[in-house]
Every structure is written in structure tokens, then in C-alpha cells.
Amino acid sequence: MLNQKKLIVSHAPFCHDGSSISVRSYHMMIAALPAVLFGFFQYGINAVGVVALSISFAIIWELAINKVTKRSISIGDGNTALIGLLFAMLLPATSPWWLVITGTFVAVVIGKHIFGGIGGNPFNPVLIGLAILMVSWKDFFDFDQALLNYDLGFAMVYPLAAVKHLGTPGIEAFSTGGLLLGQQSGGIGATFGLGLILGGIYLIVRGFIRWEISISFLAGIFITALLFNLNNPTLHAGPLFHLFTGYTLIGAFFLASEDSSSPVNFIPMLIYGAGAGIMTVLVRNLGSYVDGVVFAILLMNLINPIVDKIRPKALGKVV
Amino acid sequence: MTPQKELKLAYSLTIILLVVGVISYAAAPAKTPDEPVRMMFKVVAGNVLFDHKTHTVETGYGLACIDCHHHRAEDEEEEPFLACGYCHQIPKEGEALPQSCVECHEPDEIEDTEMIKRADAFHSQCEECHKDAGIGPVKDEERCAWCHFMM
């Protein structure tokens, strides 16, 4: 039999850190916990509902697709639960139930399984889900509109919207310390900077994410924002503001570092991270969207395969 | 963890979180408070975000309700605060004044009142106060974008 399958080679990534997928997934969820709990504290039961529904439906969709495609049940590896959690962290606490259910469907089924499941997805599934929803139901992702009825005791205008429309005079009410401590409106698990940084450091130290990507992403944002700010300080916010607002920190530690959509070689990782950072600030300062993290990372996902070709030549190789 | 245990964990997680999620959505408090916190007016010229609460509370700008909700009996606590558009609307074909007036007035007592439409009511009330107090950008061309967030 010629067509007998003897050896099946799976997709990238091949990079192995010695632990199983489930260990990685659950550690990432634990690392995200401070930021999520802070979201519960700020937005109460609405936030709990969004997160709980999002994780459970992500798993349900994965289970459904396992059954439909007659594959082995893969929900045990925790990857889909992680997708559900990260997706919920980006949403406003007032997201209606159908938005959560649709979003997790797009993330898990279209973002992940259409491309062959874990390890095969060229794009970050969470961001696919979010991007498609953002384009379809823009108003639900306008944090100013979504969070109209919350009064949490600090300036509740979405910082990135304020600076986009009013320039730096519009963001005088925000201090760097306040932003780090989560005194800003935004996604359920995306505003508590300190918590996200602690989670990120934990993941880097334990080797679950690559520091090269996170750090180059943040550096790309810092430098680009600084250049814009120096060029026109009344129109463009400073670098620290961009680091601690919007989806920057959750993007750096939890989204850009998703393994099958990011490079594995050193230089490519730096290019990938920095490219996403630069794009983020370009969208924020010049584009029509208020935040650019989602589209910037997706764009870099797209060119990731080309970037990852940049690697040291094998010794003695001809061509 | 063995694969069996992992699977069990995932199933329990799903069921527990599904229950928690459904209960939370069912128990979540009604969305609109009695007194608005912030409101978003949707306009083609760009949405306007109006911080109602900050305009009224003492720690904010400390304005009296009647400064804006101008057309109401001063002493009546019970009377609800009406939306501006309830009175400031274009009257129906053939009528001089909006239908809402006759809920409180005899038609003949208000005959010659000049009514301005909703958007004009907003512009003139908001801006009269701001300009008197010297609030907002000085240049006229920057003023529109101060309130209207262009998308």
C-alpha cells in the first residue's frame, strides 16, 4: 500500500519547554488571575458572568467540534479554557450573553479548529474572535458607551478614546500610577497593569512565554510612542501612557506570545514583537481605531511565517 | 496529571462555570440607574459623551438640577425629570406645538411659545453655560470636537 500513513509530521511549533500543554494552559490562567479578580472587584457580578460564560462556552464549542470531526476529545489540555478566559478579559463587563457565545464560537471554531486545531492556527484564536466581533458590533466594544452606568470613582472616559479625540489635554486626569493600579475603564481583565506585569514576569521566569516577544513588543510601543510624543506633545500621548492603557500589557504577555502564531527563532521573535508594537502605536495615533493591539498582532501573525525564515545558515550549507 | 484526570477537570470546570455564568447574568442588576451617570448621544457629527453625574455632584461641578431641567415646577419633588426631547421636538404636521405640552397645559395658555428643536436645545443650553464660564477650547473650530467624538 503506497498511501499507507507511516509517519505524520505535525505543524510548527516544535519548540518544547519540557512540560505538557495542560500545565502551560493552567499556568497561564493562574498568571492571568490577579487581573481577572481585579476586574471582578471593579465590575462585580457582570464581570463574573462574562468570564464564566466565556470559559464554559469555549470548552463547549471545542467539545462540539471534537464530536463533529470525530477526533479525540481535546478539552483536557486546557488550551480552549485559556482561549475563553483571555477572550473574556478583553470584553467590557456589560457584554451581552450572545456576544460572548458568538465570540467564543468564532475564536475556537474559526480561529483554532478550521486550521487544524492546536498548533496549526496561524492567527491567535482569541484575537480572531475579537476582531470579527469588533468589526461586526462596533458599539459593544466602545468602552465609553458600554460602561456608561459605572461610576468607579476615577475618570471613566476610555483613556485611548480621550487622547484620540482631545489630545493630551484630554488625559490630564490620568496618572501613570493610577493606570498601573487599574484606575481606568476597559476590558474586564485588561486594565490592572500591575497584575498583568506580575503574571507576565511569572510566565517568563517559568519559561511558559518567550521574553523576547513580550519585551520587544513593549519596546516597540515605547519607542514609537516616544517619537510621536516628541514630534507633537499636545496631540500624542507619552510612551508610558501607551504602555499602561488599552490592551498593551495583556497583549504583550498573553496574546502576542501565543506560540503557534509567533516565531521561535531569536531575531524573528524580536522583529515580530517590535513590529506589533510599532503597528499598535501607528493604529492608535494615525488610524481610525482607538486601540491597535488586536490588529497589530494579527498582522504580525500573518507575516510570521516569512519572518521566521530569518535564521542562521547551517554551517557549510551551499546556496 | 493523567489525561483522564485532566478531562474530568475540564468537564467539571465547564459545568460549574456554565451554572455560575447563567446565574450571574440572571442576577445582574438592572442596567439603568434612576439618575444617569454618563450618557452617550449618538449623532452623525460624532457621538457626545455627557458626564451627567460629574455635572451635578458637589465634588464635580455642583450644578442644580433646575439649571438644565429648566421646565418644571420648582417645589414638586415627585415630578420626574424629563428627557429634553420630550418637549423639544418638531411638532406633528398641522400642530403648532408638540403634543406633550397639553399634558400639563391648556393649549390656549401656551399658544405663542417659541420652541427650539432638540439638538438646538442642547447646543444652546450646554454652550451658553460653558462659554459664560470660559470652559472648553477657545478656538471655535476645536469646540465641536470637544463634545463630538468623531469616529
Residue B75 pLDDT greater than 70, yes or no: no
* pLDDT at position A153: 86
Higher local confidence (pLDDT), A74 or A218: A218
pLDDT over 90 for what percent of chain A? Answer: 72
Contact residues, chain A, for B40 at CB < 8 Å = 144-145, 148
Q: Rg for chain B (alpha carbons), in Å?
A: 24
Same domain, B66 and B105: yes
Average pLDDT over chain B reads 85
pLDDT over 70 for what percent of chain A? Answer: 91
Residue A15 pLDDT greater than 60, yes or no: no
**Mean pLDDT in residue range A208-223:** 96
Rounded to the nearest angstrom, the minimum Cα separation between B124 and chain A is: 22
First-last CA distance in chain B: 50
Contact residues, chain B, for A161 at CB < 8 Å = 149
Cβ-proximal residues to A39 (8 Å cutoff; 6+ apart), any chain: A47, A51, A89, A93, A187, A188, A189, A191, A192
* pLDDT at position B33: 75
Summarize pLDDT for B14-71 with one digit per residue, the tens.
Answer: 999 999 999 999 988 766 777 889 999 988 888 899 999 999 998 889 898 888 999 8
pLDDT tier, A18 (very low <50, low <70, confident <90, very high otherwise): very low
Distances (CA, A) of A317 to A266, A307, A313, B93: 20, 20, 7, 86
Same domain, B68 and B131: yes
Domain that holds residue B144: 38-149
Summarize pLDDT for A149-208 with one digit per residue, the tens.
Answer: 888 888 899 999 999 988 998 899 899 999 999 999 999 999 999 999 999 999 999 999
**Mean pLDDT in residue range B4-8:** 87
Rounded to the nearest angstrom, the minimum Cα separation between A115 and chain B is: 23
Longest C-alpha distance within chain A, in Å?
73
Taking CA–CA distances from A88, the nearest residue in chain B reads B21
Same domain, B83 and B99: yes
What ipTM was assigned to the predicted interfaces of this complex?
0.84
Cβ-proximal residues to B92 (8 Å cutoff; 6+ apart), any chain: B98, B99
Residue A253 pLDDT greater than 70, yes or no: yes
**Mean pLDDT in residue range A17-25:** 74
Same domain, B94 and B48: yes
Q: Which of A68-72, B102-106, B145-149 has the lowest mean pLDDT?
A: B102-106
Summarize pLDDT for A113-131 with one digit per residue, the tens.
Answer: 998 888 889 999 999 999 9
Q: Is the peptide bond before A13 cis (omega within 30 degrees of 0)?
A: yes
Quick one: cell of A134? 469588533
Q: What is the residue type of A294?
A: V
Residue A65 pLDDT greater than 80, yes or no: yes
Same domain, B12 and B45: no
Cβ-proximal residues to A262 (8 Å cutoff; 6+ apart), any chain: A210, A213, A256, A269, A272, A300, A301, A304
Of A94, A97, A165, the CB nearest to B149: A165
Same domain, B130 and B59: yes
Q: Among A122, A142, A285, which residue's Cα sits nearest to residue B40?
A: A142
Cβ-proximal residues to B75 (8 Å cutoff; 6+ apart), any chain: none
* pLDDT at position B74: 61
Best mutation site among B5, B9, B38 for testing chain A: the one with the most A CBs within 10 Å? B38
Number of compact structural domains in chain B: 2
Contact residues, chain B, for A75 at CB < 8 Å = 7, 10-11, 14
Average pLDDT over chain A reads 91
In CATH, what number is assigned to the domain containing residue B76?
Answer: 3.90.10
pTM comes to 0.90
